[in-house]
Amino acid sequence: MVLKYINKVNKISLFMTVVGTLGNMFVSVNYTFSYWGSSEKKPIYLILIHLAFTNILILLTKGLPKTILAFGLRNFLDDIGCKIIVYLERVARGLSICTSSFLTVVQAVIISPRASGWNRLRPESAWHILPFFSSFWILNALISINLIHSIRSTSLNISQQINYENSCYFTVENQEIKWIFLILMVLRDALFQVAMGGASGYMVFLLHKHHHHVLYLQNSKFLYRTPPELRAAQSVLLLMLCFVFFYWTDCAFSLIINISSKDNTLMINTREFLTLCYPTFSPFVLIHRDGLLSKFWHAHWEKLSKCL
């Protein structure tokens, strides 16, 4: 029964990895062309491209091992392969938190009133965005560096091991070092989620004011169209709701797994499935809310018409 469930989860993980990777590639390519092909280069497009790349990295490092397991191959990773896969997955997870939070903050700054002090922080070029990406990579690379020492391949058959997972496992490490890196991870997550929460609350407040303004104009029989910045803010808020839901669900499962003394195979595989949900669903939230498919086909149809 448990084995059948695990096989089903692995097959679903394969489907999600393929679909999610294609979705994120579409978003990345679309925003890349939008950034370089338009006269007005919006820096927020770079954040969305970086988020899509981060999602692809999570899907490949988390989904590919599950996919290979679905085909019956076990112990396919050697020691170096385990270190690379697990390290990149942990770095990508941290990048996802940082980039999602950064996206929310930048979007909140963009839609803030021009008279407010926040509008002064509005990024005007890529050079205002790229240094943040560099700091995110350095921060998460350093916070996850202890994994290089503690990850081993199961093919080596080392006795001291904890938290068995697929073809790799964590060896028992110095408790002081373990707690230092754990505290750093918690502080990182807390800091960026507080920023995300504050920016999201500010956007909800601005959208609420905008809604009342629209109602007033409608009652006054004025024609009014919602600015694209506010529509983008709605997309970002929906994206953040997805992120928060899957993040805290993952935290709840992790807590239950660590506390429980029973066989947690089902819980571990369910948690592994949930970690793929946000990077899989988030590009389709953007595609649906921003109408990327219609814009994509419209742009290519215009180019084709000019050629003909």
Question: Which one of 21-25, 37-41, 112-116, 125-129 scores highest in mean pLDDT?
Answer: 21-25
| pLDDT confidence band for 96 (50 / 70 / 90) | very high
**C-beta separation of 121 from 109 below 8 A:** yes
Dihedral, 187, 193, 196, 201 alpha carbons, nearest 10: -120
Q: Where are the alpha helices (DSSP H) in the chain?
A: 2-37, 43-58, 64-70, 79-111, 130-143, 147-150, 175-219, 228-259, 265-275, 277-290, 292-307
Does position 62 have pLDDT exceeding 70, yes or no? Answer: yes
The mean predicted confidence, pLDDT, of the chain is 78
Q: What is the pLDDT of residue 229?
A: 64
Which domains are present in the chain? 2-307 (1.20.1070.10)
Q: What is the pLDDT of residue 70?
A: 63
pTM, whole model, 2 decimals? 0.83
Average pLDDT over residues 56-81: 76
Q: Tokens for 58?
A: 């999570």
The residue with greater pLDDT, 215 or 73, is 73
The Cβ of residue 181 has, within 10 Å, a number of other Cβ atoms equal to 17
For residue 297, give the amino acid letter.
Answer: W
Average pLDDT over residues 201-229: 63
Question: Which of 105, 106, 98 has the alpha carbon at shortest distance from 142?
Answer: 98
The residue with greater pLDDT, 8 or 297, is 8
Q: At what angle do helices 79-111 and 175-219 cross, to 10 degrees?
A: 30
* DSSP states along 240-299: HHHHHHHHHHHHHHHHHHHH--S--HHHHHHHHHHHTHHHHHHHHHHHHHHTHHHHHHHH
For the ranges 97-101, 146-150, 235-239, 257-261, which has the lowest average pLDDT?
A: 257-261
Question: Which of 296, 276, 300 has the alpha carbon at shortest distance from 93?
Answer: 276
Average pLDDT over residues 124-136: 88
Q: At what angle do helices 43-58 and 79-111 cross, to 10 degrees?
A: 150
Tell me if residue 300 falls in helix, strand or coil.
helix
Does position 39 have pLDDT exceeding 80, yes or no? Answer: no
Above pLDDT 90, what percent of the chain? 22
Q: Tokens for 128?
A: 């205002």
The residue with greater pLDDT, 84 or 257, is 84
Q: What is the pLDDT of residue 236?
A: 84
Average pLDDT over residues 35-61: 87
Token pair 């050079």 in the structure block, residue? 127
**C-beta separation of 51 from 106 below 8 A:** no
The residue with greater pLDDT, 81 or 138, is 138
The Cβ of residue 216 has, within 10 Å, a number of other Cβ atoms equal to 11
Does position 159 have pLDDT exceeding 50, yes or no? Answer: no
For the ranges 1-10, 155-164, 203-212, 299-308, which has the lowest average pLDDT?
A: 155-164
Q: What is the pLDDT of residue 34?
A: 79
